[in-house]
Structure 1
Amino acid sequence: MTRVPAESWRNPASADLLPQEDASGALGTYDHRVEPLQPWTLGPRGRRWFDALLVLSLSGLALFHWAVGEPLNAVVSLSQILPLWWRRTHASLVFGVVATLSAAQVLVLGLHDPIIGQVAFPIAAYSVGRWGGRWARPVSLVVTLCACLVAGWAWSSWAVPDERLSSMVAPALSCAGMAVSAWALGVAGGQRDRFVRSLVDRAEQARAMAERDVALAAQDERARIAREMHDVVAHGLSVIVVQADGARYAAAQDPAVAVRTLGTIADTGRASLTEMRRLLGLLRTEESGVRPQPRLDDVPHLVEEAEAAGMTIEVSLPQEWPLVPDGVGLAAYRVVQEALTNVRKHAGPQARVTLGVTVDDAVRIRVTDDGRGAAGGGHGAHGSTGAGTGHGLVGMRERVAVHDGSMSAGPAVGGGWTVSARIPL
């Protein structure tokens, strides 16, 4: 038995699936420490050498017939032994040739005295049992049994006619025991080879499926990052555009307001660029970011940015933010962010916004404005039905649906637009 190093066996798609503890005892990086044991087998070169030594050694023994003055026995033995060189690649043909030459031996020499070439028959039977075709194996067994009967009959030729039938039983059984045992060992070896090949095929299929799952997971992660990028860019640019428009109108009357507004624009632009660089880094390196994702308790920052951009907003938020799962918190944060971004883009000037967030058995979000977004075909060009093709609302629905939540967006009673979402905990 040989131990195969883990580095040469490890599955590249699942090699990093076993968690390892760091010095502090916490689960850290993943590594593969399994070193499987494999049965000892000959390689292609070893098999060639084995067959060569087998044929050469038996041929050398067959030449003893020549040395003792039996050249015909030596020729017959060599004719039976030499085909064994091709027993792995043409097992059925080799068995047929050896069986035919063994039958010819009975006609030419008889079986009164054994010869070295008779050893080739059980070897050929083993070979056809292991490497022969599906139908060659049962046919070779029948031929083997018939050959043993013929050999037993020939070996009992010394007996008187009345006792010959009983005298052939012992030699026929001994010949059949050796030849059939060799055939059975070959069949068992062939079954083992097929079983090992099936295991290898399954391992390859598992590796391919693992690689496919990794690729799908990477694709999903890239899609998530793309949605994050859309939210960051849309929110940051909408704040910058609104602030720039306000600064342009205020610069002539109150330069101080323009200065403050330009500072807000610069801060918003820098924050957006920082987050975009982080997301682009994720796309390039496929590593986890070092900056934490926004959470539910970061919603007040969105309100501050909206008010700084000149939006009139009335909020109803929890006094103390409860702990919610990170995924739910991020989804709620992005829903509020996208809703406020759509208000800036589509509700028009002087729009008033009402934002409410409650947390009980679910995170409930409601953003309502009294602008002209619905009447003007705004809010992602959804028109009066709220069923358009804007990426913002589609992204919000996808985020909420991931957590088995529900979301609706459409015109509000009395004018304006309402976005409502429920994300269960």
Structure 2
Amino acid sequence: MLEGTRAQAERETGVRAPWRPGPRLRRLLDVAPVGVLALVVVLVGVQSGDRWWLLLGLAQTVPLIWRRSHAGMVYAVVAGASAVQALVVDIPIVSQLAYPVALYNLARHRGPLAGAIGLGVGLAGAVVASVVWVEGYRPPYVERVWADYVPYAFTVGAIVVVAWALGTLSRVRESYVAAILEQGERRVVEAEQRVLLAAGDERARIAREMHDVVAHGLSVIVVQADGARYAAAQDPDVAVRTLETVAATGRASLADMRRLLGLLRTGEQAERAPQPGLPQLDDLIDLARGSGTRVTARLPAEHLELSEGDGLTVYRIVQESLTNVRKHAGPDASVAISVHVGHEVDVTVSDTGSGGRPLAPGGDERGLGLLGMGERVAVHGGELTAGPGVDGGWVVRARWTR
């Protein structure tokens, strides 16, 4: 999972993480060069017959095996052995190659302060070494000239500065690349979170739509089917018209369900049927009247322009309210619908039914419709109220700014 995120972060930022050797190759690179240098030190020390060459050479080279994991400690040991060498050996030895390696790793793997200290110690050591070496090679009768020390000090100082600079640049580059990759990883995680949030919002929206479509369609079908069953024995014509309404309602509900389920398909083009809005309110009210509900309505002019989101919210609030009337208000209830559109959208649906309907969903299926209406209105920054009316019945009112 982490490797996939890192790879995606590299594609996001266009920066590739530095190549790093594996554990075995890293161990080989740590040990093999040090082993070669130590072998040379041993051969030269044995040939010279000077035990200081051998002891100081091993003290400077062997600690380099741990130069990556313990850069500070290794540098201290190598620098200390180099300082002792200036006191007991007056000529350069091959193991002094360990000092720039230790300084490089100190500047790379430790902070800038440790690198600066190592640089200062190295430059001071370059001056001391130049004096010691020149004095070691100078015959006693030759006059001392300051120009004799400059080439040695400059050469050794340049090696020290280059080792420190390379280590510092490597540390800065590694930090820079790590910061960019971390930023890319954050972008990848944030993008995934945005996708999950968007998917959750879309699922909630589809769930609201499915609830409204299914609850409204089935309530109409149930009411009409009951009416047709009672009317069939006395007036077959009424039963036929009622069954036609049932069929029309079922077809409309199926069409809405196909459109909503099409949004859930992957790799397919979902059907883009227009969402219901203000123009479809008349059909919705006629359907309610056809099912036996007494409805009076004050609707805005048909030519009024309203955004698709606002129009759909108005339609679903009226639809869900009529569904609740059929389910809870009782057989003799009448409904008054008022829709006003201006700077604000104001939707009021009141009935003369028995009232006493549950408000909190709390796992009660009958409360999901009110919850869905509240979510729809909240999207527009509005407010929904639902409760018993002053003169009885039930009143649902929603208001929001266009």
User: TM-score normalized by structure 1?
Assistant: 0.75
Which residue of structure 2 aligns with residue 231 of structure 1? 212
Counterpart amino acid of 2:108? Answer: R
**Residue-by-residue CA offset, 1:247-280 (whole Å, 9 max, x unaligned):** 2321221123223323332443344345345545
**Residue-by-residue CA offset, 1:331-371 (whole Å, 9 max, x unaligned):** 111111111112212222232223233433343323233x2
Correspondence 1:168-207 to 2 at 5 A: 168=149, 171-207=152-188
Which residue of structure 2 aligns with residue 323 of structure 1? 305
Shift of 1:42: 4.2
Which residue of structure 1 aligns with residue 378 of structure 2? 401
Aligned equivalent of 1:95, options 61, 69, 75: 75
Name the structure with the higher helix share: 2
Shift of 1:408: 3.3
Using CA pairs under 8 Å that are at least 6 residues apart, name the structure with larger relative contact order, 1 or 2.
2
Correspondence 1:17-416 to 2 at 5 A: 36=14, 38=16, 41-44=18-21, 55=34, 65=44, 70=48, 80-81=60-61, 83-111=63-91, 114-132=92-110, 136-157=114-135, 158=138, 163=144, 168=149, 171-276=152-257, 278-280=259-261, 282=263, 285=266, 289-292=270-273, 293-369=275-351, 371-374=352-355, 377-378=356-357, 380=358, 390-416=367-393
Kindly tell me: are residues 60 and 165 of structure 1, through their superposed partners in 2, closer, same or farther at Cα, counting changes over 3 Å? Answer: same
Counterpart amino acid of 2:401? Answer: P
Shift of 1:78: 6.5
Residue identity (%):
46
Shift of 1:399: 1.1
Contact 1:247–1:262 (CA under 8 A) maintained in structure 2: yes
Aligned with 1:299: secondary structure?
helix
Shift of 1:235: 0.8
Aligned with 2:384: secondary structure?
strand
Counterpart amino acid of 2:89? Answer: L
Which residue of structure 1 aligns with residue 363 of structure 2? none
Which region of structure 1 is more displaced relative to structure 2, 57-66 or 342-351? 57-66
Kindly tell me: are residues 318 and 163 of structure 1, through their superposed partners in 2, closer, same or farther at Cα, counting changes over 3 Å? Answer: same
Kindly tell me: are residues 216 and 419 of structure 1, through their superposed partners in 2, closer, same or farther at Cα, counting changes over 3 Å? Answer: same
Shift of 1:151: 0.9
Contact 2:334–2:353 (CA under 8 A) maintained in structure 1: no
Counterpart amino acid of 1:290? Answer: E
Gaps of 5+ in 2: 361-365
Shift of 1:200: 2.0
Shift of 1:101: 3.4
Contact 1:348–1:373 (CA under 8 A) maintained in structure 2: yes
Alignment coverage as a number of residue pairs: 385
Shift of 1:381: 5.8
Separation in 2 of the partners of 1:64 and 1:201?
48
Which region of structure 1 is more displaced relative to structure 2, 164-173 or 291-300? 164-173
Contact 1:159–1:167 (CA under 8 A) maintained in structure 2: no
Which region of structure 1 is more displaced relative to structure 2, 97-106 or 222-231? 97-106
Counterpart amino acid of 2:333? Answer: A
Separation in 2 of the partners of 1:78 and 1:175?
21
Counterpart amino acid of 2:67? Answer: R
Kindly tell me: are residues 57 and 265 of structure 1, through their superposed partners in 2, closer, same or farther at Cα, counting changes over 3 Å? Answer: same
Contact 2:112–2:168 (CA under 8 A) maintained in structure 1: no
Counterpart amino acid of 1:100? Answer: G
User: TM-score normalized by structure 2?
Assistant: 0.79
Which region of structure 1 is more displaced relative to structure 2, 230-239 or 150-159? 150-159
Kindly tell me: are residues 129 and 8 of structure 1, through their superposed partners in 2, closer, same or farther at Cα, counting changes over 3 Å? Answer: closer
Kindly tell me: are residues 70 and 238 of structure 1, through their superposed partners in 2, closer, same or farther at Cα, counting changes over 3 Å? Answer: same
Shift of 1:129: 0.6
Which region of structure 1 is more displaced relative to structure 2, 52-61 or 116-125? 52-61
Counterpart amino acid of 2:332? Answer: Q
Separation in 1 of the partners of 2:305 and 2:29?
71
Kindly tell me: are residues 189 and 284 of structure 1, through their superposed partners in 2, closer, same or farther at Cα, counting changes over 3 Å? Answer: same
Separation in 2 of the partners of 1:291 and 1:71?
93
Contact 1:332–1:423 (CA under 8 A) maintained in structure 2: no
Shift of 1:59: 6.6
Which region of structure 1 is more displaced relative to structure 2, 344-353 or 317-326? 317-326
Shift of 1:154: 0.8
Aligned with 1:156: secondary structure?
helix
Shift of 1:47: 6.4
Gaps of 5+ in 1: 1-6, 16-33, 383-388
Which region of structure 1 is more displaced relative to structure 2, 159-168 or 259-268? 159-168
Which region of structure 1 is more displaced relative to structure 2, 308-317 or 53-62? 53-62
